[in-house]
Structure 1
Amino acid sequence: MIPFRPLSLAVAATLAGAALPSSAQEMASYATTTEVKLTSDVRSRGVSDSFNRPGAKLGVQIAHESGLVGLAEFATVSKKQFAGGEGLGVTLAGGYRFGDPEGWHFGVGLATELFPGAQFEAPHGFDMATGSPTDWRRTKYDSAFALAEVGYGALEARVMNVISKNYRGANTGGVCGTMLSTMADPMPGLACYARGDQNSRGSWLFDLGYKIELNPTTTLNLHGGYQRIANFKEANFADYAVGVTHKRWGFSWSAEWVTTRTRVRELYLAFDGDKARATDNDRLVLSVSRSF
C-alpha cells in the first residue's frame, strides 16, 4: 500500500514572486519566465517525491502587469511512490496579487496538482469479526487547492485549503490502510478504521518564509511549515528548512537543509520491493537552476 505525499510549494512561491512585476516588467503588459532546475532530491514540504533520488523541474510562469499570474510546472517523481503513474507531477495554478512588493502585499489563487496515471488500491473498511479488510477502492493522488497569502517585504505567510475530495490520496484507505500494513502494532490502524470512511477535504497547509540578502548575489532562505490533515491527525506534521542561494554565471546555486517532524513515520515510507525507505528524513538538498 502506498502512502500519500505532501504538496509542492511551487504554487504559492510562484504566486508570491511572479505576480508583482519588476520595473523592467512594467514596460510590457506581461512577462514570461521559464525555469529549468536540477536537484539532488525533489522535496515537497520536506518530504521526498523522488524516492530520495535526483530529479528535475521545468516551470513556466506568466505575470501580467495587472497582478494576474499563471503557472505550469512539471517535475519528475518516483514511480515507486506514485504507483502506476508516468513518473511525472504536474502543477497548474492561477492567481491575483496586489500591494507594494517592498511593503504590505496580498494574494489569492487556485491550483491543482496532477500525477497522470498514478493511483493505488486500498481497503476503506475492516471487518473486526473476521479480521479482514473490506471495500477495496482505487484512489488517485490528484488534488486541488485554494490559497491566500499576506506578506511584508521579504516575509511571506501563506495558507492553502484542500478543496478536492482528497489531498494526495489521504483517505481511509490511504492512511488507515498504510498504518495497518506497516506498523508493528495494529491497534492504531484499527482505531483509524473505527472512525469510519472519511476523506481529507478541508485540510490546511501553512507556510512562513523569509529571505535575507547577504550580498547582491547571495540570499539566506528560511522556511517553516505545518500541515493539518482533516480527519487524519496521524498525518499532521511540521517541516523546516534553511538554505543559501548564490547567483553566478547565469545560474542559481542552492544548498538547503530540510527537516520534518512527522507524527506517524510509517505514512512516509516508500517501498522498493520489500525494502522500506524513509522519505521524511533530514537531508541536505543541492540544486542548480536557470531562468530564461
Structure 2
Amino acid sequence: MRANITHSLMAALLLSGATPALALADEMASYAVDVTARVSSDIRTRGVSDSLNGPGAKVSIQVAHESGLVALAEFTTVSKKQFLNGDGVGVLLAGGYRFGDPEAWHFGLGLASEMFPDAQFKAPHRFDAQAFTLTDERTTNYNSQFAVLEVGYGALEGRIARVLSKTYRGADTGGVCGTLLQFRADPTKGLECYDKGDRNSRGSMLYDLDYKYALGMNTNLKLHAGYQQIVNFSEANFADYGVGLAHRWAGFDWGLDWVTTTTRTKELYLAEDDGHARATDDDRWVFSISRQF
C-alpha cells in the first residue's frame, strides 16, 4: 500500500480525560510528570492497525501544569510495510490547555504533530488520458498536523480534530488513487480517482466520542465511537467503534478491547506483506498491559 490512509487521531491523546488532579509530593510543586509504558497485541489507531496486525509498544510522557497547560510526547512502534521506507516509529508531539470542572463541563484546546521519521512513498499524481499514462511522480510523507478541540461532561469526552497539514497520513492523489490501482483488479475506480485532478486532504475532520463507566473492583468499562471525514477523498471516510474493559492489578493496567470499523473502500486499508495483501481494518480483540511511572 503506497499510503496508509487511516485511522487516526493519536493527537486526541493530548486531551484525553478531564483535567487531572496533580499528585504532588511537594506542596510547592506546580506540575506533574507522568510516564506510561504500554505493550499491546496490536497497535490500533481509529480502529485500524498501524502494526500490520502484530504486537507493538508505546511510551507516553505527559507534563501537566496546575494552570491547565499540558504537553505530550509519545513514541510508538509501527510497521515499516505500512509506513514505507521509515524507521518503524511514530512520534507525536502535542501541547494545549485544559480548563473546567472534571466532574462537570470541561474543555480543551491544543495543537499536535504526528510524524513517522523517514517514512515516505513515491506515486504518480496525474493521469494523461491521451497517452493513457500515469505521470508526475512525486514523494509524499505520512506526517500530519492537527488542531484539537475537546468538550466533555464528567466521564463523557468528545473530541474534534481538523487537519492543518497538506495531507493526512499520506492521503493525496498519489496515495489514494495509486492504492486503488494497486489493489483493485479493475482499474476503473483508480483512473476515475486520478481523473478528478491533483488533490490533497488538508481540512479533513476527525471525530471521537468516549465514555468510561466504573464497574468497581478497579475495573472500568470503556465505550468508543469515531468517524473520519477525508476532504477530497470520500472513499477514505469510515467509522470505528470499540468496547473494552480496563482493570488495575499488581501495579499494572490490564486492558481488553474489541475494535471494529465500517470502511467504505477496503482497498485503502490493505498493506502488501511479502507479496500478499493483508487487511488492517478487520474486527479484532486487542490485549494490552501498561504501567505508569
Question: Displacement, 1:262?
Answer: 0.4
Q: In the TM superposition, what are the counterparts of 1:87-166 in structure 2 within 5 Å?
A: 87-166=88-167
Aligned to 1:2: 2
C-alpha separation in 1, matches of 2:74 and 2:233: 28
C-alpha separation in 1, matches of 2:100 and 2:10: 21
Aligned to 1:257: 258
TM-score (norm: length of structure 2): 0.96
Aligned to 1:213: 214
SS where residue 146 of structure 1 aligns?
A: strand
Deviations 1:7-52 (A, max 9, x none): 54443234233x7131634943000000000000000100000010
| Structure 1 counterpart of 2:149, one-letter code | A
Aligned to 2:57: 56
Aligned to 2:247: 246
Deviations 1:99-149 (A, max 9, x none): 000000001000000000000000001112222111000000000000101
C-alpha separation in 1, matches of 2:2 and 2:43: 18
1:30 and 2:31 are equivalent in the alignment: yes
Q: Answer whether contact 1:243 1:254 (CA < 8 A) is retained.
A: yes
State percent identity of aligned pairs. 61
Aligned to 2:189: 188
TM-score (norm: length of structure 1): 0.97
Consecutive unaligned residues of structure 1, counting only runs of 5 or more, are none
SS where residue 15 of structure 2 aligns?
A: helix
Aligned to 1:15: 15
Deviations 1:186-212 (A, max 9, x none): 211111111110000000000000000
How many residues align? The count is: 291
| Structure 2 counterpart of 1:81, one-letter code | Q
Q: Answer whether contact 2:256 2:287 (CA < 8 A) is retained.
A: yes
C-alpha separation in 2, matches of 1:119 and 1:178: 14
1:70–1:7 distance in 2 versus 1, CA, 3 Å: farther
Deviations 1:34-77 (A, max 9, x none): 00000000001000000100000001000000000000000000
Deviations 1:229-288 (A, max 9, x none): 000001000000000000000000000000000010000001113201000000000000
Consecutive unaligned residues of structure 2, counting only runs of 5 or more, are none
1:5–1:176 distance in 2 versus 1, CA, 3 Å: closer
1:10–1:123 distance in 2 versus 1, CA, 3 Å: closer
1:72 and 2:69 are equivalent in the alignment: no
My pick for the range that moved more, 121-130 or 232-241, is 121-130
1:175 and 2:176 are equivalent in the alignment: yes
Q: Answer whether contact 1:148 1:158 (CA < 8 A) is retained.
A: yes
Aligned to 2:275: 274
1:291–1:14 distance in 2 versus 1, CA, 3 Å: farther
1:9–1:143 distance in 2 versus 1, CA, 3 Å: closer
